[in-house]
Structure 1
Amino acid sequence: MTADVERAAAPSVARRIGGFALRALKLELRIYSSIGRFITRRPAVAPGAAGFGYHTPVFTILMIFIVLSAVEIPIIDLIVHRWPVVRITFLILGIWGLTWMFGLLAAYLMRPHTVGPEGIRVREGLEIDILLTWDDIASVARERRVDEPKTPKITEADASRTLSLRMQDETVVVVELERPTVVRLPGMPPKGGAQAVDEVRIWVDDPGGFMDAVRQHI
């Protein structure tokens, strides 16, 4: 019986490991893609669409981490310079970490929310990129909400499921959907993967401009 249970569980474990490895690879590639967009000043905004940032609440924090990562490299190099193997290892890790932090900042800057002819595309950092077409959308409104810290992205209330892409626990725009709509989140179920939601809440740095753009299409 035990052997049968182990054999049944093995594919699930393998899928999780494979999913984690694929997700890590996609993140790494998106880091360099975001840096490339930052250098060439090409934000991921479709023709005819307008981009709206959501990075202001975390910009200072990311900049602090980038500066600390940059300062850390020569300090550690000075400490371990007598051991070449250790020195090279820490140098590689330090440069990789600094690159990763800069790529994350670039992703926030170069992958904004967009409003355009195809609909509203909501994003968050490196991974989340969800297109809500105008046929999916029932209404869009400004509505500030502050959730408790560590509240899950997906919440349920009154038989309705809400996806909240918060910045420091806040959202300022709510997009109500015509019907339960499947969106794909990073990670594995139950928190990730395909999720049916009835509304999406997001943070936008310029909610007024966002709503003006929405009114041109809805």
Structure 2
Amino acid sequence: MTASPTVSAPARVGRQVVKIARFAWRAEVGIWKSLYRWIFRRPRVPGGAAAFSYHSPVMTILVVFIVLSAVEIPIIDLIVHPWPWLRIPLLALGIWGLTWMIGLMLSYLTRPHAVGPDGIRARVGADVDVDLPWDVVASVERSHDVTEKAPKIRDEENGRTLALRMADETNILIVLEKPVVTRLSGGDVEIDAVRLWADDVEGFLDAVRTHIP
């Protein structure tokens, strides 16, 4: 029996760096796409589907961070004004940070959950987009869950469950007929259920009932 080759420490570090770089690049591209979609009023909602927001639990904190970032830019610029070599990089960094925060907020606004003829799209900004066709959906129900510092995926009664939390909370449980493979930042994963947060739970469930009894 041939032993599996040992991966050296530098190779492991290199793979981790590449993984982080890819994640950072996807996040950056997602932020700028969100700005584009908001400017041109093009939310990512499939044709014939109803959109459902999920940003209300985090909107206040996002607005606070955006305001603080905007206030911070002129203050720091005033402090380092005599040193152009320091002022210009800090100004660019501050503007980039402010733009990134605005893009993050807009990613929630332009990529809502969607319930339509083809199924359910469960989302979290530009980072997560889970496609659940109706033929794999067993049930959709109200299920309030509050769990701090829990992993995004964990084993529950319904199997391997993906939790798309907003401020550590979910209020809808989608149980699947069969496992579905979806892509997350860490790679492809197989799931048996999805928990998510919807600002309008009753509206979400009503939309589901128009497609499945």
TM over 0.5: yes
Q: Name 1:199's counterpart in structure 2.
A: 193
Q: State the SS of the aligned residue for 1:167.
A: coil
Count of residue pairs brought into register by the alignment: 208
Q: CA deviation at 1:18?
A: 1.9
Residue 24 of structure 2 corresponds to: 24
List per-residue Cα deviations over 1:112-154 (Å, max 9, x = no partner): 000111110100122101101111111111111222x101111
* Residue matched to 1:211: 205
Report the counterpart of residue 171 of structure 1 in structure 2. Answer: 170
User: Are 2:158 and 2:193, in contact at CA under 8 Å, matched by a contact in 1?
Assistant: no
| Dislocated runs of 4+, deviation >4 Å | 7-11
Which residue does 2:97 correspond to in 1? 97
Q: Give the deviation of 1:186 after TM superposition.
A: 0.9
Whole-angstrom CA distance in 1 between matches of 2:136 and 2:127: 22
Name the CA shift for 1:207/1:67 in 2 (closer, same or farther; >3 Å).
same
Distance, in Å, in 2 between the alignment partners of 1:143 and 1:129 is 21
Distance 1:151 1:163 in 2: 11
Identical aligned residues as a percent? 55
RMSD (Å), alpha carbons: 1.6
- The letter of the residue matching 1:120 is I
Compared CA separation, residues 122 and 158, structure 1 to 2 (3 A): closer
Report Cα offsets for 1:171-201 as digits up to 9, x if no partner. 11100000122222112xxxxx222221101
Q: Does the 8 Å contact 2:173/2:195 carry over to 1?
A: yes
Shift of 1:159: 7.6
Does structure 1 residue 141 correspond to structure 2 residue 141?
Answer: yes
The answer to whether the aligner puts 1:40 opposite 2:36 as a matched pair is no
Partner of 1:190: none
* Alpha-carbon separation, structure 1, partners of 2:157 and 2:48: 37
* Matching residue's letter, 1:141: E
Q: Tell me the distance in 2 between the aligned counterparts of 1:159 and 1:121.
A: 20
List gaps (5 residues or longer) in structure 1: 188-192
How big is the shift at 1:15? 2.8
CA distance in 2, matches of 1:29, 1:183: 20
For residues 9 and 207 of structure 2, what CA distance do their matches in structure 1 show?
Answer: 49
Which TM-score applies when normalising by structure 1?
0.90
* TM-score when normalising by structure 2: 0.92
- Residues 158 and 192 of structure 2 are in contact (CA less than 8 Å); yes or no, is this contact kept in structure 1? no
Q: Structure 2: which 5+ residue stretches go unaligned?
A: none
Shift in Å, 1:10:
4.6
Deviation per CA, 1:62-109, whole angstroms, max 9, x where unpaired? 000000000000000000000001000110000000000000000011
2:176 alignment partner AA: L
Displacement of 1:12 in angstroms is 3.8
